[in-house]
Amino acid sequence: MEQDIAKQVREENAIILDYLPYGYPFEQGAMKVPIAQGLGLAHLSLLELIPKKEIFLQPHQQVYIGEGKRDEIHHIKGKIGIDKLTSTARNELQHAVEKVVELKEKEFIEFFNKAQPLSMRMHQLELLPGFGKKHMWEVIEARKGKPFISFEDLKNRVKLLPDPKLIVIKRIMLEIEGKEKYYVFVK
């Protein structure tokens, strides 16, 4: 059982946020190791990655970090907090989150199709920035007829709804920054 949970938490792919060919500038010692900071695609984890020798990585490059043969990444050093990101990685983070939301649009639309109450007074949809009871009930009513198929479909069927893609991106950024009590998208 524990092995199944461990496998679910692992990332398979990441988007590079920053690549430091000579390691962190503040590290002491002569043996500085190249390092990359990335965003995992599956769980939106911030990761430190050690690239293979003679590999040069670019921001927004997608790399395989799962089990088995990896072309660019030697190993995963571990998860990091947002406070450990370089200024370049911080600047690229929102763009990377946007790319993930675009790549996995169907999964995020499923959230709108299947969101349930958390308690008698709180619904999962209300966790989204700018979502109140009115938007929540409009989404619930609209999905009764047929499930949403895209952000565009959701926007067209729910009147006065702010851009759902931007709402999801904003929520993910708040979760990564640790500013939320409940985690909806970041694992």
Q: What share of the chain is helix, strand, coil (3-state, %, to 5)?
A: 40, 15, 45
CATH 2.40.50.140 location in the chain: 2-96
Q: What homologous superfamily does CATH list for 2-96?
A: Nucleic acid-binding proteins (2.40.50.140)
Contacts 24+ apart (CB under 8 A), 137-140: 139/112, 139/115
* SS3 state of residue 14: strand
Q: What is the pTM of this model?
A: 0.88
Of 80, 29, 81, which is closest to residue 50 (Cα–Cα)? 80
Q: Quote the crossing angle between the two packed helices 133-145 and 105-114, to the nearest 10°.
A: 100
Q: Across the chain, how many H-helices and E-strands are there?
A: 6, 5
pLDDT in tens, 66-123: 988 999 999 999 999 999 999 999 999 999 999 999 999 999 999 999 999 999 999 9
Which CATH architecture does the domain made up of 104-176 adopt? Orthogonal Bundle (1.10)
Q: How confident is the model at residue 187 (pLDDT cuts 50, 70, 90)?
A: confident
The pLDDT tens digits of the residues spanning 9-32 come to 678 999 999 999 988 887 776 667
181: which DSSP letter? S
pLDDT > 90 in the chain, percent: 79
CATH 1.10.150.280 range(s) for the chain read: 104-176
